[in-house]
């Protein structure tokens, strides 16, 4: 462990490294449980950092794009910053116009997580979110375990319990550029998503409630497709609205394999491949449509538009206001569980 920086209140932010055979290494911060760096070899044997992030604490405290962070209590947007649970209305932190985004202004991405255990291939973090944190009811205890191996890749296992009925939807907001951090945009990456449908959004980026087929749309990634043509398809109203992709895909899932493949991202030039496996029902794909507005990243300059792609396994956004979406309600005595694995490999050609 090394000290990454000191918070304004004097607490230290630690950086822990996980390592696995094959030259894969991951650096994780105790601030926000952030994945700061991921080193992976390419076809030429050269290891590059393929995760976007910052080299200084100040940028992470601002972190307008949530680079690498654990998101909570609720990933995605909650309409009108309010939720009704058992007949009681709770007003939440509104940090995106009228909406609550990624847990509110001071969500889990800004929290200093406690290290419960650390090993060369495993890091166990915990967080206690008090009753009323960002307006959410209940004392929420969260345990997040990162583990790394050459076979399973970087795995994140999360559990949560609550003292009162509340809503929970946790995810990792890592951004990937398999050509290497600072190598430009990801438009020449090929993406495959295991989804036949997606959830369109309105002008406030809230799901309309419709579950739409990807057939005949730029959201059809059932076969690998370069991102370039899809994010540039401004003839599609949903693409034009987001200036790219910022949408939830409804994963097919596999009852025989709870940790099912959700996506495959590949950089043809370097040969690096990232496969995402998850227990979650949805995958939010965000192509970094506004990244050029952020602070300087690790390369020493702001990332360009489409400089990385976030693949966020999670429940559907705004689920409390969409009765047809899977519920994210958690009650006392229940245990929220979520698992995701990011597996890196090299394509021979």
Q: Which residues are catalytic?
A: 173, 312
**Is the bond preceding residue 285 a cis peptide, omega within 30 degrees?**
no
CA-CA distances (angstroms) from residue 201 to 84, 156, 195? 21, 28, 17
Closest CA to 123 of 159, 153, 157, 150: 157
Query: Which residues, 6+ apart, have CB-to-CB distance to 233 below 8 Å?
Result: 218, 239
Query: Which residues, 6+ apart, have CB-to-CB distance to 304 below 8 Å?
Result: 184, 185, 291, 292
CA distance 263 to 222: 9
Quote the DSSP letter at residue 7: -
Contact 173, 101 (CB under 8 A): no
Quote the DSSP letter at residue 14: E
CA distance 267 to 255: 30
Q: What share of the chain is helix, strand, coil (3-state, %, to 5)?
A: 10, 45, 45
Contact 268, 190 (CB under 8 A): yes
Sole residue written with tokens 């495993």: 122
> How many helices and strands (H and E) does the chain possess?
3, 28
SS3 59: helix
């Amino acid at each position: 462990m090394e000290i990454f920086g000191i918070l304004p209140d004097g607490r230290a932010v630690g950086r822990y490294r996980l390592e696995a055979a094959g030259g894969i290494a991951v650096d994780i911060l105790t601030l926000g449980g952030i994945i700061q760096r991921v080193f992976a070899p390419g076809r030429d044997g050269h290891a590059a950092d393929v995760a976007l992030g910052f080299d200084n604490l100040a940028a992470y405290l601002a972190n307008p794009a949530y680079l690498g962070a654990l998101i909570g209590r609720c990933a995605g947007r909650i309409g009108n910053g309010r939720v009704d649970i058992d007949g009681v209305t709770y007003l939440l932190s509104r940090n995106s116009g009228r909406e609550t985004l990624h847990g509110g202004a001071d969500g889990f991405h800004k929290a200093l997580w406690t290290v419960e255990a650390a090993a060369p291939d495993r890091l166990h973090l915990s967080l206690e979110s008090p009753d009323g944190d960002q307006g959410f009811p209940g004392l929420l205890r969260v345990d997040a375990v990162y583990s790394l191996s050459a076979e399973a890749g970087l795995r994140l296992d999360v559990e949560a319990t609550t003292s009162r009925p509340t809503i929970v939807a946790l995810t990792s907001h890592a951004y990937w550029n398999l050509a290497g951090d600072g190598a430009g945009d990801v438009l020449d990456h090929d993406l495959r998503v295991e989804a036949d449908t997606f959830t369109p959004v309105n002008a406030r980026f809230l799901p309309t409630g419709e579950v739409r087929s990807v057939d005949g749309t730029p959201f059809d990634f059932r076969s690998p497709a370069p991102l370039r043509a899809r994010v540039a398809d401004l003839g599609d109203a949903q693409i034009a609205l987001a200036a790219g992709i910022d949408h939830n895909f409804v994963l097919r899932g596999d009852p025989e394999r709870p940790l099912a493949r959700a996506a495959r991202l590949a950089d043809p030039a370097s040969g690096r491949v990232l496969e995402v496996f998850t227990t979650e029902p949805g995958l939010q794909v965000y192509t970094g449509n506004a990244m050029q507005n952020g602070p300087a990243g690790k390369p020493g300059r702001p990332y360009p538009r489409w400089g990385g792609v976030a693949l966020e396994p999670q429940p559907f956004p705004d689920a409390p206001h969409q009765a047809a979406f899977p519920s994210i309600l958690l009650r006392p005595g229940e245990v929220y569980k979520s698992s995701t694995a990011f597996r890196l490999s090299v394509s021979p050609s």
